[in-house]
Structure 1
Amino acid sequence: MASSPTPVRTQMIEAREPPDQRRGVLGWLRANLFSGPLNSLVSIVTIALLVRLLWPFLEWSLFDADWLGSSRDACSGDGACWVFISARFESIVYGFYPEAARWRVDLVFAMLAVLIAWLALPRLPAKPWVGLFALVGFPVIAYFLLVGGHFGLMDVPTREWGGLMLTLTVAVVGIVGSLPIGVLLALGRRSTMPLVKGVSVIFIEFWRGVPLITVLFMASVMLPLFVPSEIEFDKLLRALIGIMFFWSAYMAEVVRGGLQAIDKGQNEAGQALGLSYWQRMGLIILPQALKLVIPGIVNTFISLFKDTSLVLIIGLFDLLAIIRAGLTDTDWLGFAMEGYVFAALVYWVFCFSMSRYSQYIERRLHTGHKR
C-alpha cells in the first residue's frame, strides 16, 4: 500500500520582527524595566519614589558625612559622623581582647577567609582535604590561638572576648555544630525504632517550643546547677551548647522536609543493591535531600547569625553590644544612628553573602528540578 505524500507548504511564512540583539545595560533595561507602556510607567514611578526616599539618606550617610578624625570635634557637619566608627573600630572588632594578642585574632580571621575562599571558588585542587582540615584542624588551631595558655601564648579568658570576633565565633560554631546534629535528629525522627524516634521527637519539639532567650538563660544560670560543683563550664561554652541544640531542632525539620521529598524508590533501589542503612543514607538519600533544602538550610544559618546578638543577655558583648556600649561613652553621646547603621551593614554583608553563595550552589547543582 503506497503511503500518502508528505504535505509541502507552498505559501511563504509571514515576516516577523527580528530578535533583539542588543546586550548590556540598555538591553537589560528594555527587557526588564521598559518592555511595555504599563511596565515603563510602573518602573518610572518606582524609581522616582526610591530616589525621593533614598536621596536624603545618601546625603546624610555619604555626601555630608564626616570621615576623618579621632574625636567628636571632627564632626561638624549635618551628615553622619563615621569618625565614631573609625575611632572605636578596634574595640568593635576585638572587644576587650588584649591589644598585644590581637595578632592571634587576625591570624584566625585570615585562616578562616582563606578556607572559605578555597572551598567556595570552583576548580581549586584538594577540596576534600581542605574541607577535612576546616572541620578538624582549623577549630583546634583557632582554639589554641584564641584561648592561649599553651605554647607560650598568653591566656585570654572568654570574658575578654567581644565584638565581631565573638559574633563570628558564636555563628561559626553554631552553624558547624547544628547541621550534623540536625541531620541525625531528622534521621532519628524518621526511624522505625520507637525509642530512637521518640527521643528525637521529644528533643526537637522541646527545643522548638522554647524561646532562644530562655535557652540562653538556662545555659547560663540553670546548667551549673545540674553538674558537679568541681566542674566549671565557661559562660561562652554554655551559650554555644545552647545555641547548637536550639538551632539543630530547626535544622532537623528542614532536613526532614528534604527526606520526605525523596521517592521511596531511591531507598528500595539501594536495598536491592545490598547497601546498608548508613550507606543508603550517605550515598543516595542525603545528597539528594540536602540539595533540595539548600534554601531552608541557609535561611536557618542566616537566622542563627542574626540571633547571635542575644548573647548580650548573659553578659557577652558581641558586635551590637560593643557598639551600644560605645554609645554610652560621654565623649560620643548622640551618635546612636551611626552605630546602628554600621552594625546593620555588617550583618547585612554576612547574611547577603550567605544568600548569594547558596544561590550559586543551587545553580551549580541544578537544585529545584527546573523544567
Structure 2
Amino acid sequence: MSDVAASSFVRGELVPPRAAPIKTTGFVGFLRTRLFNSPTNILLTLVSVMLLWLTVIPAIKFLLVDAVWHGTDRNACLAQNAGHVVGACWPYVQAKFSQFIYGFYPEPERWRVNLTFLLAALLLLPLLIPRLPAKSLNAGLFFVAFPIVAFFLLHGGGLAGFGISWTASLLSGFVDSIGEAGRKVASVGETTALVGPLLQALGKLIMLFSIAVSYVVWPLIWLRDQIQASSRPVWTDFAVTAAIASISVFVLNGGVRTGWRSLIVSLLIFAGTGIVIAVMGLDRGGLPVVDTRVWGGLLITLVVSVTGIVSSMPIGIALALGRRSTIPLIRVFSIAFIELWRGVPLITVLFFATYMLPLFVPAGFTIDGLMRVLIGVALFSGAYNAEVIRGGLLAIPRGQGEAAAALGLSWGKTTSLIVMPQALRHVIPGLVNSFIGLFKDTSLVSIVALFDLLGQLRASFADPVWATPTTLFTGFAFTGMIYFAFCFAMSRYSQFVEHRLNAHRQN
C-alpha cells in the first residue's frame, strides 16, 4: 500500500491553458492560408501589392481624384487655371460624347439610331434569359426581321421593288455580265495569234450560254416589267411575291395533306412584313437617306461586330462540316477557303472587300462601302470559327453518330440534333474568345474610311478647343472602359451559359 502511494502523483496546480488554434476562416484566415502561408506566396503577395500600388492608385487618382468635372473648353483642364495637377478632363468627354456614339450622323435623325438600339435591346435581352418562353419567335425577330428594319431605320430610303423585282434585276445583271465576259474573251482572241481561234470559240460559247440563260430568265424579267408598269409597283410586287412564295411552301410541305400549317405561317410572315412596310412608309420613299460614310462611333463598332458575330456562326458551321465531308470537292473547297482567309491579315481582307469586291459582282449591281466591310469581316471570322467548331466536332465520339444511324436518323438530323449541340457546348470558350477579338478588331475599319469608336476618338483630338495635355489619356481611358464593359459582359455571359449547359455533369 505504501508502494502504491509512493508511486502516485497528485498535481498541486492547474494545467496551463493551451494556445488558441490558428484561425483559418474569415479575412485573417484568408490572409494566413492563401497569401502568407509560404515564402513563395509571401513574395508573390508583396510583388502583387506593389504592382497594384504603382498602377491602380495612380489610375484612380488620375480618373477621379485629380479629375476636372466641369468646364466649357480647354481652359478648365489646364493646371494653371484649376490650381492643382489636372487628371482626366471629363468635360471633353461630355462635349464629344455624341460624336463618340453617333459619329457624324445628322443630329435631327439620331432618334433613328436610338430607336435601333432600343429595339436591339428589347429583342436581345429576352433571348439571353433562358426561362423566358417563345425563343423561336424571338430568335426569328432578332436574326431575320430586326436587321432589315434596322437597315431602313439607319440608312433610310424606301423599296424600289420586292422579291420578284430584286431577283429579276440580279439575274438580268448576271446574264449581262456573262455576255460581256464572252465578248471580251472573243475580242482578246481576235488580237492573239497563237490561241486566237480557241479564245474566239470560247467567247462565242460563253455568249451562247448567256443567250440561253436569258431565255430562261425572260419570263421573270417580263413579270418585273409588268409590275413596274403598274400604279403601285411595290405593293403589286409584294402581293405577287407573297403568292408565289406561299404556294411554293404549301406545295413543298405536302400540299393539301400537311401543308396548311406552313401556308398559314408564310401568310402571317408576309402580313407582318406588309405592316412594317406601311408603318415605315417604305412604299413612299421611307425615311431620309443617311449615307454610311457619315456613320461612326459606337454605332459602327456595334454594327460591324454584331453583324460579324451573327453571320460568322453559320459560315463557320458550314465550313467545319464541309472540311469533314466525305465529298472531295466540298472538302477541298472548305480547306482552301479556311486556309486562304486565315493566311491573310484582316487589314488585307478589308482592302480586298472595299476595292476589289465590286469587280466580282454583276454589271449594274453596286455594293455599299459598309456592306463590303461587313462581308469581308463575316468571311474572315467564319474561317476562324470553322476551326474552333471543328475542334468541338472532333471531341464527339464516333459512337454518337453510329447510335443515331442505328436508330434510323438521317445525317442532317444526327448533325443538328445530336452532334452539333454537343460540339458547340465544348467550344463556347473558344467561340467567345473569337467574338471578343472581333469586337476589338473593328477598330481596323478606320483604314477604309469608316470611323468607329476609336476612329472618332482620334478625329476628336484635332479639335483645338479641347487640346490639353490630358485630353489624349482621358479619351483612351473612356473608350477603354467602353470596350472593357462589352467584352467583360460577353465573357461573364459565356461563363453563365457554359455553367448552365454543364450543370448535369457536376457531381
What TM-score, normalized to structure 1?
0.89
Contact 1:362 1:368 in 2 (8 A): no
Name the stretch that deviates more: 139-148 or 49-58. 49-58
The answer as to 2:368 corresponding to 1:234 is yes
Mapped to 1, the partners of 2:291 and 2:72 lie a distance apart of 30
SS, match of residue 451 in structure 2:
coil
The answer as to 2:50 corresponding to 1:48 is yes
Q: In structure 2, what is the equivalent of residue 7 of structure 1?
A: none
Mapped to 1, the partners of 2:152 and 2:384 lie a distance apart of 31
Name the stretch that deviates more: 39-48 or 120-129. 39-48
Mapped to 2, the partners of 1:198 and 1:293 lie a distance apart of 24
Q: In structure 2, what is the equivalent of residue 6 of structure 1?
A: none
CA shift digits 1:101-138 (9 cap, x unpaired): 11111111112222332122342232332122111121
Contact 1:95 1:160 in 2 (8 A): yes
Q: 1:268 to 1:118 in 2, by over 3 A?
A: same
The residue correspondences of 1:288-367 to structure 2 (distance < 5 A) are: 288-334=422-468, 335-366=471-502
Counterpart of 1:130, as a letter, is N
Counterpart of 1:144, as a letter, is F
Q: In structure 2, what is the equivalent of residue 127 of structure 1?
A: 135
Counterpart of 2:463, as a letter, is D
Following TM superposition, by how much is the alpha carbon of 1:30 offset from its aligned partner in structure 2, in angstroms? 6.1
Contact 1:291 1:367 in 2 (8 A): no
The answer as to 2:92 corresponding to 1:79 is no
**Structure 2, gaps ≥5 residues long:** 1-19, 80-85, 159-280
The residue correspondences of 1:200-239 to structure 2 (distance < 5 A) are: 200-239=334-373
SS, match of residue 88 in structure 1:
helix
Contact 2:24 2:30 in 1 (8 A): no
SS, match of residue 231 in structure 1:
coil
SS, match of residue 356 in structure 2:
helix
Name the stretch that deviates more: 330-339 or 159-168. 330-339
The answer as to 2:95 corresponding to 1:95 is no
Name the stretch that deviates more: 345-354 or 279-288. 345-354
Mapped to 1, the partners of 2:29 and 2:69 lie a distance apart of 38
Following TM superposition, by how much is the alpha carbon of 1:36 offset from its aligned partner in structure 2, in angstroms? 6.0
Mapped to 1, the partners of 2:461 and 2:135 lie a distance apart of 44
Counterpart of 2:91, as a letter, is V
The answer as to 2:418 corresponding to 1:284 is yes
Counterpart of 2:453, as a letter, is L
Counterpart of 1:362, as a letter, is E
- Aligned equivalent of 1:181, options 290, 293, 315: 315
SS, match of residue 262 in structure 1:
coil
Q: 1:284 to 1:18 in 2, by over 3 A?
A: farther
Mapped to 2, the partners of 1:26 and 1:110 lie a distance apart of 47
Contact 2:428 2:494 in 1 (8 A): yes
The answer as to 2:275 corresponding to 1:141 is no
Counterpart of 1:73, as a letter, is N
The percentage of aligned residue pairs carrying the same residue is 52
SS, match of residue 364 in structure 2:
coil
Mapped to 2, the partners of 1:26 and 1:250 lie a distance apart of 47
CA shift digits 1:239-281 (9 cap, x unpaired): 0000000110000000000000100000001100111111000
Following TM superposition, by how much is the alpha carbon of 1:53 offset from its aligned partner in structure 2, in angstroms? 2.8
Counterpart of 2:495, as a letter, is Q
Q: 1:167 to 1:291 in 2, by over 3 A?
A: same
Following TM superposition, by how much is the alpha carbon of 1:210 offset from its aligned partner in structure 2, in angstroms? 1.1
Q: In structure 1, what is the equivalent of residue 60 of structure 2?
A: 58
Contact 1:292 1:368 in 2 (8 A): no
Mapped to 2, the partners of 1:122 and 1:43 lie a distance apart of 40
SS, match of residue 289 in structure 2:
coil
Name the stretch that deviates more: 98-107 or 259-268. 98-107
Name the stretch that deviates more: 344-353 or 144-153. 144-153
Mapped to 2, the partners of 1:370 and 1:205 lie a distance apart of 38
Mapped to 1, the partners of 2:377 and 2:116 lie a distance apart of 22
Q: 1:19 to 1:355 in 2, by over 3 A?
A: farther
Counterpart of 1:230, as a letter, is G
- Note the aligned Cα RMSD (angstroms): 2.3
Counterpart of 2:58, as a letter, is P
Q: Which has the larger radius of gyration?
A: 2
CA shift digits 1:173-206 (9 cap, x unpaired): 0000001110000000000011111111111111
The answer as to 2:420 corresponding to 1:253 is no
Mapped to 2, the partners of 1:205 and 1:230 lie a distance apart of 32
Q: 1:70 to 1:28 in 2, by over 3 A?
A: farther
The residue correspondences of 1:159-178 to structure 2 (distance < 5 A) are: 159-178=293-312
Name the stretch that deviates more: 315-324 or 58-67. 58-67
Name the stretch that deviates more: 359-368 or 105-114. 359-368
Name the stretch that deviates more: 277-286 or 224-233. 224-233
Mapped to 1, the partners of 2:140 and 2:30 lie a distance apart of 42
Segments ≥4 residues shifted beyond 3 Å: 17-23, 25-42, 367-371
Counterpart of 1:102, as a letter, is R
Mapped to 1, the partners of 2:30 and 2:119 lie a distance apart of 39
Mapped to 1, the partners of 2:33 and 2:54 lie a distance apart of 25
Counterpart of 2:480, as a letter, is A
SS, match of residue 72 in structure 2:
coil
Name the stretch that deviates more: 147-156 or 213-222. 147-156
SS, match of residue 149 in structure 1:
coil
CA shift digits 1:326-362 (9 cap, x unpaired): 0011222242111112222211111111111111111
Contact 2:293 2:450 in 1 (8 A): yes
